[in-house]
Amino acid sequence: MTLRKTTVASTTGPVDGSAAPIDGARRRDRANGSEPADGRRDSLDVFDVSWSVDGALIVDGVSLSAKAGSLTGLLGPNGSGKSSLLRTIAGMTRPDGGMVNLGGEDLLGMRRRERARRVAVVEQETHTDVPLRVLDVVRLGRTPHKATEHDDDLARNALNTVGMHDLAERDWHTLSGGERQRVHLARALVQEPELLLLDEPTNHLDVHFQLSLLAKVRELGVTSLAALHDLNLAASYCDHVVVLDDGRVAAAGAPEDVLVPEVIRRVFNVDCDVHINPRTGRPVLMFTPLP
Ligand X SMILES: Nc1ncnc2c1ncn2[C@@H]1O[C@H](COP(=O)(O)OP(=O)(O)OP(=O)(O)O)[C@@H](O)[C@H]1O
Q: Which residues bind ligand X (CB under 6 A)?
A: 53, 58, 76, 78-84
- Of residues 93 and 148, the one with the C-beta less far from ligand X: 93
- Of residues 42 and 245, the one with the C-beta less far from ligand X: 245
Q: Minimum distance from CB of 226 to ligand X (Å)?
A: 12
- Amino acid identity of 225? L
Q: Minimum distance from CB of 46 to ligand X (Å)?
A: 15
Q: Minimum distance from CB of 50 to ligand X (Å)?
A: 13
Nearest to 186 by CA among 151, 206, 157, 207: 157
Report the SS3 class of residue 92: coil
Q: Minimum distance from CB of 80 to ligand X (Å)?
A: 4
Q: Minimum distance from CB of 227 to ligand X (Å)?
A: 6
- Of residues 167 and 249, the one with the C-beta less far from ligand X: 249
Q: Minimum distance from CB of 58 to ligand X (Å)?
A: 4
- Of residues 70 and 84, the one with the C-beta less far from ligand X: 84
- Amino acid identity of 283? P
- Of residues 53 and 290, the one with the C-beta less far from ligand X: 53
Distance between CA atoms of residues 116 and 151, nearest Å: 17
For the sheet containing 223-227, what is the strand order?
Answer: 119-122, 195-199, 223-227, 71-75, 240-245, 248-253
- Of residues 138 and 258, the one with the C-beta less far from ligand X: 258
Residue 69: is it exposed, middle or buried by C-beta count within 10 angstroms (0-12/13-18/19+)? buried
Inter-CA distances, 134 with 83, 128, 168, Å? 25, 12, 5
**Roughly what angle, to the nearest 10 degrees, separates helices 151-161 and 177-190?**
130
- Of residues 157 and 203, the one with the C-beta less far from ligand X: 203
Nearest to 241 by CA among 220, 264, 219, 221: 264
Q: Minimum distance from CB of 238 to ligand X (Å)?
A: 17
Which 8-state DSSP code applies to residue 140?
Answer: G
Helix (H) or strand (E) holding 252, with range, is strand 248-253
Distance between CA atoms of residues 9 and 7, nearest Å: 6
